[in-house]
A and B are shown apart, each in its own frame.
Chain A
Amino acid sequence: MDMKRLIYVGLLLVLLIILVIIFFRKGGEERIKPASSTTFPEQEPLSEEPEETTQITLFFPSEEDTLLHPEVRDIIASSSVGIQAKQVIEELIKGSQNGYISAVPPETKLRELFITEEGVAYVDFSREIQEKHNSGSSAEISTIFSIVNSLTYNFKSVKKVFILIDGGEKQTLGGHIDLSRPFLPQHDLIAN
């Protein structure tokens, strides 16, 4: 009995230490990040080599019409499509810089993204994409195709997009559009 208790306390202590380490590392990263981020390129320290960027296009709905509007943005260049695709989704979650509507709830986190050999991008979002969603057919269509079109437009190797939530398949965001199959891009939703 006493031994068990000791083990429990020990485990809790180890867990606490790990949590503290994670907390401080994250804090540290956050403090360093703005310096190397692309929004303040002129503040980059001279000692660091400037990171190469590449241009991508995001798609957002607008107040004006029912279409998705392109917004061009720079991301950090990478030879890995997967890493770039992750950045595309993260930028999409950050929302528009040109006054368009953000169709992915800003509380949402990208948990995982990877692309299969057949060209299906599996994008795993945290549950906020469902919980904070203003459910309704039009809203669901906007959210889904701003994600799908943003990925397929930028990466030739992505043919279809499968949206996962919290690591698993979900039926719908809010009772309407079917998430149990991968989506093909919908080009007719894109504004000229």
Chain B
Amino acid sequence: MSSDAGSIPAASSKISWYQKKILLNQKKRSSIFLWIFPFVFFFLGFSSYPQNQPFLRLSVKDHPSLSRVLIESSIPLSFSIERSGSFLFVKLRADKPFRIQRRPFRSRFIKSLGWASGRDFYTITIRTQHRNFSYDSFTISDPPQLVIDVSPNGGEERREESREGPKRISVETNKEERKVPSASPGRKSIVIDPGHGGLESGAKGKFGALEKDITLDISLRLKNIIEQKLAYNVVLTRDKDVNVSLENRAAEANNNKAYLFISIHANSSYRKEARGSETFFLSLNATDEEARRLAYLENNSAEFEDRIGGDNEDDIKMILWDMAQAAYLKQSSQLAESIQKELNLLLGTINRGIKQAPFKVLTGVACPAVLVEVAFISNPEEERKLLTEAFQNNVAQAIYRGLVNFLRRYSQE
């Protein structure tokens, strides 16, 4: 791809706006590729560690109100946390020596991360920027991770602060117990996105039904079902009739470290006869170069998220966020398939498969993500159906069943 600005033929002054746009595009693109290569090698380096020796991977990621220290390992962690001055000491029991990987970082609330090893333990030292801070910790079992959130005081008090005493939590990663729907640590969240809202009402039916109302109704029903039956938090990108930008919907998923993202919509077509449910996942309008890069990301999705949080130039971070879904296309297609199968059973349709399209709301989501078009609001018969409680419940149940089937498979992989 050439970035030779002089090669663009100058035409009339009328198209100068477009010329400017192209110059920008070219510049942006070449600088992305210059930046991508060090990244690729950096992470290839990480992935080449021997599999048998347990590792500890330390990283820090800044969020608007806190800094998150992530300690990942290949084996279950047994730990205690002690606080002293501006330090937090995380003591980890270790029968075998760890191989420690520490990622470079720059953080607002955390000054440094260090480590030392004893006879049968390791101590990770977290030095905060301010003496007056609070922290919160929790674990994720699969893969084994210890998460410590540090925030400066002055904001809201953190729940964990009161019990600072050492604690010992053993995290099981036994294969049998990995069936997430029943045995989740309760911290994982599923983000449900009711399409449209506020002034943006989406598609309209002949009888006046609005897409935004139907999507919210079904999303609320789905939320109830999931919360009753699964140990997941359900986060809605909106729970009332308000406008939420497409970027903020994806950001909601990423800020909540969503495990799954499901966007609910009602379809509209020019065809009068169009009917039925369809489940979409993202397709990319990728060039060859982009496709190669994305293929790399797709094969290394575990590292992908950390790459986003690195201490790089802001525009690169943004571009990577923008592409976040590229790393999850395979799982997203499986989730779509699983949900579509249940919708087909519900509606008695056999041959309807999953579809792929470049949906804006899905591009930035950093977890398996689908968009469900529950029925055609443009079809008067389906419009009436969409407004009934029975159909809304049935659809929510079908999506729930598809989701559970996917979770069983996904959590075992």
Interface residues of A (CB under 8 A from B): 61-63, 66, 101, 103, 112, 114, 116-118, 122, 134-139, 141-142, 160, 167, 171-172, 174-184
Contact = CB atoms under 8 A, between A and B. Distances in A.
Interface string B187-204: 000000001100010111
B1 A118 contact: yes
A66 B357 contact: no
12 contacts: A112-B15, A134-B268, A135-B203, A136-B376, A137-B280, A137-B357, A138-B373, A139-B269, A141-B357, A177-B358, A178-B359, A182-B285
Interface in B333-370: 357-361, 363
A160 B200 CA distance: 29
A135 B7 CA distance: 39
B373 A137 contact: yes
A183 B285 contact: yes
A114 B286 CA distance: 21
Contact of A142 (B269, B286, B360): B269
B272 interface: yes
Interface string B258-274: 00000001111111111
B270 A101 contact: yes
B205 to A, nearest CB: 10
Counting from the closest, the 8 A-B pairs by CB-CB distance are A136-B268, A138-B269, A136-B203, A178-B360, A101-B270, A178-B358, A181-B285, A139-B268
A63 B269 contact: no
A112 B18 contact: yes
Interface in B269-321: 269-274, 278, 280, 285-287
A120 B287 CA distance: 11
B373 A175 contact: no
Contacts of B286: 184
Given A118-B1, A137-B371, 19 more contacts: A101-B270, A114-B11, A114-B15, A122-B21, A135-B203, A136-B267, A137-B265, A137-B357, A137-B359, A139-B378, A175-B202, A175-B246, A176-B359, A177-B360, A178-B285, A178-B359, A181-B358, A183-B285, A183-B358
B359 A134 contact: no
Contacts of B360: 171-172, 175-180
Nearest to A135: B203
A109 B79 CA distance: 66
B203 A134 contact: yes
Contacts of B272: 63
A184 B287 CA distance: 8
Interface of B: 1, 7-8, 11, 14-15, 17-18, 21-22, 195-196, 200, 202-204, 211, 246, 265-274, 278, 280, 285-287, 357-361, 363, 371, 373, 376-378
Given A116-B22, A176-B265, A136 B202 contact: yes
B268 A61 contact: no
Contact of B270 (A116, A142, A176, A183): A142
B101 to A, nearest CB: 34
A47 B391 CA distance: 68
A167 B269 CA distance: 27
A62 B278 CA distance: 19
A183 B285 CA distance: 6
Contacts of A137: 265, 267-268, 278, 280, 357, 359, 371, 373
Nearest to B245: A171
Contacts of B363: 178
A184 B269 contact: no
B166 to A, nearest CB: 50
A114 B18 contact: yes
A136 B377 contact: yes
A175 B196 contact: yes
Nearest to A148: B285
A66 B269 CA distance: 9
Given A167-B17, A172-B246, A136 B357 contact: no
B243 to A, nearest CB: 10
Contact of A103 (B270, B274, B278): B270
Given A176-B265, A180-B360, A183-B285, A61 B270 contact: yes
Contacts of B211: 136
Contact of A117 (B7, B285, B287): B7
A139 B273 CA distance: 13
Nearest to A138: B269
Contacts of A142: 269-270
Nearest to A169: B21
